[in-house]
Amino acid sequence: MAKPRNNLNAHNIKNLYIKKDKRSKTGFSCQYKDPRFNDPRFPDAVKQFHSLVSDIVAAKEEAIELNAVLYGKIANAKVNRVLTPPSNTCTGIQLKVWLEQYLSYCRKKLKNGEIKPNTFKIKKNITMAIHKAHGDLFFADINVRKIAELLNSYIKLDQNRMAQSVRSIYIDIYKIAIGNGIDNITVNIASMTINPDAKVKRERLSFPHFEKIIEAYKYEPHRLSALLAVITGQRRTDLCLMRKRKGKDWDERYKAYRLNPNHFVNNDYTSFADLVKYAPYSFVEDDQLCVFQLKTGNLLRIPLSLSLEKLNLSVGDVINKANLFKFSPFVLHHTTARAVNKLGDPLHADTVSRTFAKAIIATGIEYILKPPSFHELRSLSEREYKDQGVNTKKLLGHKHEKMTDEYDDLRGCDWEKVDSI
């Protein structure tokens, strides 16, 4: 029969070991295991076990005090390793050199279609900001404090979203560096910084305000861009690329997109002209609006009969209204020659955003937070169609209901309806 287990060590005190010892006056021997043993940061910790008093109660008190002191030293050593500025004799790769290699890595992912052009644009801009702040330092010189100071510089300017982006890119920079064995870095110190809280500071668009904005437009094609955005719930670029019918080149465009979504990227940049020339587009066919979503590659079929009750307009009604110049292949097109645009040319995605902002100013509506952007029309569309019982997750082309819920969130800008039980 096995001997009963010794319960002398059934306590919650780390590194304390008690055993029976007939040589001791109390009949017990108490030892403390040094947590610093074999740690290169503490060369003086050469002994693993240390004898304590033989009285169990007193030994427990000693062990608790030793844990407090020694674990405090270990914590300070970790902090000092990260926060203490390195000596001027630091060697290794300069951060600006690694940033160039990091961008080359991202550029390769862009060409392979693994990341979107806009994602690469953000990474490139943030990398340039990091280069400006820390580029002349060696990679090994970077510590938590330096990264935190950079983040705080943006937070002080009320640019919390920018601070979030800088932190995210810094984490990615270290992740790739660790994977490539750069300077023997093994710890992603960027992830140790506090993630800035970035609350949305833009107003939601209410339907009464939308009605006023629509009336404030001076150029009919621009007004129709806002109407089409609300009636279809689609993104601005997809609206501007939309055509009246399917062209003979559409299948080839779509095939090229499926093989590489970024095949039309030129010198890290995708111009709107490149999208018009090479990208697949939405079109009208068989009483349906066949939507191609450039951001996700989703394909949707929206019936032209789908209508927004508050506007008393259907998708087909707005598309018919937009047919101002019948010789233009684009649904949203210029009706006059304006600057570099010719008659029938498609509206530029940046133009519809800019003219929407001007229309808001023309209404005289005052907002507490930042005024709504053109993209808020997509949220308004989701909320209005949801009230009508339409499956807005499918309409917006979302993969997850959680994303659709974010568009449905009023952010406290309007009254929430509570249904009676």
pLDDT at 206: 92
The domain spans of the chain are 16-83, 95-192, 207-408
Q: What is the rounded CA–CA span in Å between residue 42 and residue 46? A: 9
pLDDT at 198: 79
pLDDT at 353: 96
pLDDT at 88: 47
Q: What is the rounded CA–CA span in Å between residue 366 and residue 368? A: 7
pTM greater than 0.85 (yes/no): no
Low-confidence ranges of the chain (pLDDT < 70): 1-6, 38-41, 43, 81-91, 413-416, 419-421
pLDDT at 205: 93
State the architecture of 95-192 in CATH terms.
Answer: Orthogonal Bundle (1.10)
Is-same-fold flag (95-192; 207-408)? no
> How far from the centroid of its chain's Cα atoms is residue 285's Cα?
36
Q: What is the rounded CA–CA span in Å between residue 36 and residue 25? A: 30
Fold classified for 207-408: hpI Integrase; Chain A (1.10.443)
Residue for token pair 């008093």:
53
Name the pairing type of β-strands 49-51 and 28-33: antiparallel
pLDDT at 352: 96
Exposure string for 123-134, b = 16+ CB within 10 A, e = fewer? bbebbebbeebb
Name the pairing type of β-strands 49-51 and 283-285: unpaired
Beta bridge partner(s), residue 291? 300
For CA atoms 82, 88, 90, 94, give the dihedral sign. Answer: positive
Q: What is the rounded CA–CA span in Å between residue 399 and residue 174? A: 30
